[in-house]
Amino acid sequence: MTGLATTLQAFFTDRLVRQRQVSANTIQAYRDTLRLLLVFASERQGKSPVRLDIDDLDAPLIGAFLDHLERERQNGVRTRNARLAAIRSLFRYAALRHPEHAATIERVLAIPPKRFERRLVTWLTEAEIDALLAAPDRATWTGRRDTALFSLAAQTGLRASELIGLTRADVQLGAGAHVSCTGKGRKQRITPLTSGTIAILRAWLAERAGQPGDPLFPTQTGRGLSRDALERRLAKYVAEAQVKCPTMAKKRVSMHVLRHSAAMRLLRAGIDTSVIALWLGHEQIETTQIYLHADLQIKERALERTAPITMKPGRFRPTDNLLAFLEAL
């Protein structure tokens, strides 16, 4: 085996699992990236993956691989940058084990992430959330399960991976009712529950018999829901909710949009962004700042406070149809 092969194996078993103790999701993401890279390099270099060495994965090849991700595989810039981060993590580890390849490794580590346009986050209004939660058929077992699942998601803002990883023991409905989960970086956090969510979860737990370690939201066979199954269920209910709430048709709703909606509800209630960061499990408060940029009402309130006392507070409103047309452009 080449130096790359042994280093790659040690990278997963020693660096990721033993030293850093990363989550299964991180290992899966790194595995998928490096598998794609090895297949791409094997075709370019005319070697089997096990015969590839570090010098075969030089900076020009890595750059061509990143272009391949965007052009052929239609990956977005965020995905491209995430793949690059996994590659750089491997090469930083390789630098410790293979100083003889320092020049190649240094040039790969110098490849910068690509800048991209940060769009405003999408979130659902209260009326849209109500329409979504009314979509599941509560006369069926799956409908009652999905009502509990999406009610919890909309109120707590848990990530999809956190939701499907919950067990019965993670929900406490007594005094100080809360749900506990393990998020990114194996960080544990506790999120309080509202009275409405408590009532829905209490009814679901009474119906969902089982052991404390069983999945909170299982399939009909008792296994945990997959991420794909979760997104399919959401897409089904979004399509039904659009009939009663047409404004949802203009939005691309995913599980992460429910997370954004929970954050925006807290922000509009006047909760400080540092508290919202703790609520969502953000490692850096800068991540939470995106919600400030997305909420026009907060900016309008700031504008009202800075307006001269002789002026009537508020935003400019056109006075006739022609001005309204120009304002809408």
259 is annotated as an active-site residue: yes
Q: Which of 83, 259, 260, 265 is catalytic?
A: 259
Q: Which of 15, 83, 208, 282 is catalytic?
A: 282
Q: Which of 184, 189, 202, 244 is catalytic?
A: 184
Query: At CA 280, angle to CA 156 and CA 128, rounded to 5?
Result: 45
3-state secondary structure of 181: strand
251 is annotated as an active-site residue: no
292: in domain: no
Tell me, yes or no, whether 245 and 155 share the same domain. yes
- Rounded to a whole number of angstroms, the CA Rg of the chain reads 24
Residue 128: pLDDT band with limits 50, 70, 90: very high
Distance set, CA 246 to CA 121, 131, 243, 286 (Å): 19, 10, 6, 33
Q: What is the pLDDT of residues 265-306, one digit of tens each?
A: 998 888 888 888 888 888 777 777 777 666 666 666 666 666
Q: Which of 30, 93, 237, 291 is catalytic?
A: 291
Tell me, yes or no, whether 99 and 140 share the same domain. no
pLDDT surpasses 90 at 10: yes
Instruction: Print the domain residue range for 324.
Output: 297-328
Reported in sequence order, the residue ranges of the chain that DSSP labels E, i.e. its strands, are 171-172, 178-182, 188-192
The last residue of a domain, from among 109, 135, 157: 109
This prediction's pTM: 0.68
Tell me, yes or no, whether 102 and 141 share the same domain. no
Q: Which of 80, 159, 233, 260 is catalytic?
A: 159
Tell me, yes or no, whether 146 and 251 share the same domain. yes
pLDDT surpasses 60 at 233: yes
282 is annotated as an active-site residue: yes
273: in domain: no
256 is annotated as an active-site residue: yes
121: in domain: no
Tell me, yes or no, whether 105 and 132 share the same domain. no
Mean pLDDT value of segment 117-146: 91
Residue 67: pLDDT band with limits 50, 70, 90: very high
268: in domain: no
Tell me, yes or no, whether 138 and 43 share the same domain. no
